[in-house]
């Protein structure tokens, strides 16, 4: 049995602190591999767990706290000096987006987790994980990287040009394999930064069919015309949907809309102001754990998330898995992925602007998609996590058979 140490986060509903799709995607992927009972055992070093170790579902999670870090630092003082030097290099090079003390603490925690678990392979996620690999003490320990998106060409992200430098920097790192959440991100990475010096392959994100599943139409009441599940932000587009609903209201379309997600106070105030001043049929609910989302998705006719950018957009496939078709901007990577979206499970907008949302919704509600929730769900059966996990075991196998 080969041990693989993944470095990442744990979603809030499982005891972590993260409410993002990234966190659930990282955990669900590795937990699905463990469910296969294959030749590979995944452990997760989680930066948001304070216990020394904790079993969550099928996965052992390694946590940290101040006592653990101090004990490890006292045991390996020369390593700490090395880590300090390597992190200083990163800080001086990318100081606008890197917090020195945070990266140093994570590097020490990673080294502690490696000593504790003695893994055969490290599985990093994203550019932040890749930067940690720059500081590894054991240079002979192989690692793979999963890329969830490209930030270096997204002006909506602060200091995006610094992120571009980081992404170019890590492309020269030595990994044994690099995976991407969509084919388009892989292709774009190669165009902008070149190729990693290893196997590169796209493996999509998945969804959990035990949490996201359809209910037959005759057994459910469609209370909402639209639903959005996401953190509240300009990038995700809740306010642009509201502005489109105001324009639709003026043309006789009085659509109901459910927004689920947490965000900054000022973002909530903007949303509530638009709702109240225009008497929109909108309900706003704070963050909910994954296990509670399926009921709301089944009560909604369409899921809409007009993001400016997405790496993958796991919530789209979770909605389709629930049997609810999605409204998605055509420029997003998922919309360009072969074999995922089609005329039964989705409706594509030209882009994520208010005008496109208005035009798209007007067209859609004049001529709605005629669908059966069970049939919609079947269109992405190949994206259930157990299928994605099997693709990863093939990657692991190729690494260990080198």
The CATH number covering residue 162 comes to: 3.40.50.2000
Any domain includes 212: no
CA-closest candidate to residue 20, choices 330, 163, 229? 229
Strand order from edge to edge, sheet including 346-349: 281-285, 256-260, 224-229, 300-304, 326-329, 346-349
Are 88 and 225 found together in one domain?
no
Residue with tokens 């392979």: 121
Are 183 and 56 found together in one domain?
yes
Number of separate domains in the chain: 2
Any domain includes 315: yes
Give 321-377 pLDDT, tens digit per residue: 999 999 999 999 999 999 999 999 999 999 999 999 999 999 999 999 989 999 999
Any domain includes 393: yes
Are 150 and 226 found together in one domain?
no
- Examine the pLDDT at 22 and tell me if it is beyond 90: no
Are 263 and 366 found together in one domain?
yes
Give the pLDDT band of residue 166 (cuts 50, 70, 90): very high
Any domain includes 152: yes
Are 132 and 60 found together in one domain?
yes
- Residue 27's Cβ-side half-sphere holds a number of Cα atoms within 13 Å equal to 29
Any domain includes 224: yes
pLDDT recorded at residue 46: 95
Q: How far apart are CA 301 and CA 378, in angstroms?
A: 17
Are 62 and 184 found together in one domain?
yes
Any domain includes 113: yes
CA-closest candidate to residue 387, choices 317, 329, 327? 317
DSSP characters for 158-224? Answer: TTHHHHHHHHHHHTTS--SEEEESSHHHHHHHHHHH---SSEEEE----B-TTTS----GGG----E
- Examine the pLDDT at 77 and tell me if it is beyond 80: yes
What is the enclosing helix (H) or strand (E) of 122? strand 121-125
Are 233 and 130 found together in one domain?
no
Are 24 and 99 found together in one domain?
yes
Any domain includes 211: no
Give the pLDDT band of residue 16 (cuts 50, 70, 90): confident
Give the pLDDT band of residue 216 (cuts 50, 70, 90): confident
Question: Mean pLDDT of all residues in the chain?
Answer: 94
Q: Is the distance from CB of 26 to CB of 9 less than 8 angstroms?
A: yes
Give 364-391 pLDDT, tens digit per residue: 999 999 899 999 999 999 999 999 999 9
Give 252-297 pLDDT, tens digit per residue: 999 999 999 998 999 999 999 999 999 999 999 998 999 999 999 9
Are 246 and 364 found together in one domain?
yes
pLDDT recorded at residue 219: 57
Any domain includes 322: yes
pTM score over 0.75: yes
Domain residues for the domain of 240 are 217-382
Compute the average pLDDT of residues 24-44.
94
pLDDT recorded at residue 218: 58
């Amino acid at each position: 049995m080969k041990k693989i140490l993944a470095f990442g986060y744990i979603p809030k509903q499982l005891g972590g602190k993260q409410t993002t799709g990234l966190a659930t995607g990282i955990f669900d992927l590795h937990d699905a591999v463990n469910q296969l009972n294959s030749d590979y055992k995944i452990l997760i070093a989680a930066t948001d767990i304070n216990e020394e170790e904790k079993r969550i579902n099928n996965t052992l999670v390694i946590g940290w706290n101040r006592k653990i870090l101090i004990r490890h630092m006292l045991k390996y003082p020369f390593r700490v000096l090395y880590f300090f030097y390597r992190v200083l290099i990163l800080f001086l090079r990318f100081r606008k987006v890197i917090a020195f003390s945070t990266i140093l603490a994570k590097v020490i925690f990673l080294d502690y987790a490696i000593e504790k678990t003695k893994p055969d392979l490290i599985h990093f996620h994203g550019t932040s994980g890749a930067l940690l690999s720059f500081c590894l003490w054991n240079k002979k320990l192989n690692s793979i990287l999963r890329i969830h998106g490209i930030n270096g060409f997204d002006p909506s992200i602060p200091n995006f040009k610094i992120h571009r430098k980081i992404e170019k920097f890590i492309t020269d790192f030595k990994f044994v394999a690099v995976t991407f959440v969509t084919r388009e991100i892989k292709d774009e990475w190669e165009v902008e930064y070149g190729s990693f010096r290893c196997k590169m392959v796209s493996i999509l994100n998945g969804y959990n069919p035990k949490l996201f599943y359809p209910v037959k139409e005759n057994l459910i009441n469609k209370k909402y015309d639209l639903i959005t599940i996401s953190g509240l932000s300009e990038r995700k587009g809740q306010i642009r949907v509201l502005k489109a609903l105001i324009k639709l209201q003026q043309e006789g379309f009085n659509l109901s809309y459910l927004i689920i997600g947490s965000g900054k106070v000022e973002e909530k105030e903007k949303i509530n102001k638009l709702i109240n001043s225009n008497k929109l049929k909108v309900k706003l609910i704070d963050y909910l754990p994954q296990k509670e989302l399926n009921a709301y998705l089944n009560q909604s006719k369409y899921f809409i998330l007009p993001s400016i950018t997405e790496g993958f957009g796991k919530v789209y496939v979770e909605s389709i898995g629930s049997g609810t078709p999605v409204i998605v901007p055509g420029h997003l990577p998922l919309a360009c992925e072969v074999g995922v979206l089609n005329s039964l499970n989705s409706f594509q907008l030209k882009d994520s602007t208010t005008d496109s949302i208005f035009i798209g919704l007007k067209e859609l509600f004049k001529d709605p998609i005629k669908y059966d929730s069970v049939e919609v769900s079947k269109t992405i059966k190949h994206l259930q996590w157990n299928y994605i996990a099997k693709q990863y075991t093939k990657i692991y196998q190729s690494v260990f058979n080198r």
